[in-house]
């Protein structure tokens, strides 16, 4: 009998504690009170100008650093690959794979240029 009373008291205290909603109250904010700087940009994607050169007519891959495929094309030795990609703004570097070469290149400046014929990154034009 005494054990039942103890369990009943514990259950009562737990029930009272569960009813306390002070931790779940949200603060109401008026949208007029929010201050957004004039320079804030709401864009979530950005355009990257791609200019890649290579000697062989084989596939080229542009991937995220985690391996997700962003772009795939056949290299044209005469003209290279010239295109524009729209990628998330959070991506600052991409991995370009051509032949057995894999290069990690920054795209934070809005350009992606690499000449696989000389094997050296020459940066943005």
Q: Torsion angle, CA of 73/78/84/89, rounded to 10 degrees?
A: 70
For 25, counting Cβ atoms within 10 Å of its Cβ (0-12 exposed, 13-18 middle, 19+ buried), the class is exposed
Write down the domain spans for the chain.
Answer: 45-115
Whole-angstrom distance, CA of residue 42 vs CA of residue 36: 11
Whole-angstrom distance, CA of residue 27 vs CA of residue 100: 56
* CATH code, residues 45-115: 2.60.40
Residue 34 — pLDDT band, cuts 50, 70, 90? confident
The H or E element containing residue 16 is helix 2-18
Dump pLDDT digits (tens) for 45-67: 999 999 999 999 999 999 999 99
Closest CA to 94 of 75, 67, 120: 67
This prediction's pTM: 0.65
Mean pLDDT of 102-124: 81
Q: Please say if the pLDDT value at position 114 is more than 50.
A: yes
Tell me, what's the pLDDT at 125?
A: 44
Q: Are 52 and 96 in contact (CB under 8 A)?
A: yes
Q: Please say if the pLDDT value at position 30 is more than 90.
A: no
Mean pLDDT of the chain: 85
């Amino acid at each position: 009998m005494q054990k039942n009373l103890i369990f009943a008291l514990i259950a009562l205290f737990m029930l009272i504690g569960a009813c306390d909603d002070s931790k779940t109250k949200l603060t109401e904010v008026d949208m007029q009170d929010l201050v957004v700087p004039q320079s804030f940009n709401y864009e979530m994607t950005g355009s990257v100008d791609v200019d890649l050169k290579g000697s062989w007519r084989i596939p080229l891959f542009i991937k995220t650093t985690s391996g997700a495929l962003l772009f795939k094309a056949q290299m044209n030795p005469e003209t290279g690959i010239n295109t524009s990609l729209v990628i998330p703004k959070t991506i600052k570097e991409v991995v370009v794979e051509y032949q057995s070469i894999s290069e990690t290149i920054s795209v934070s400046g809005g350009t992606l240029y690499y000449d696989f014929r000389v094997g050296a990154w020459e940066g943005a034009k």
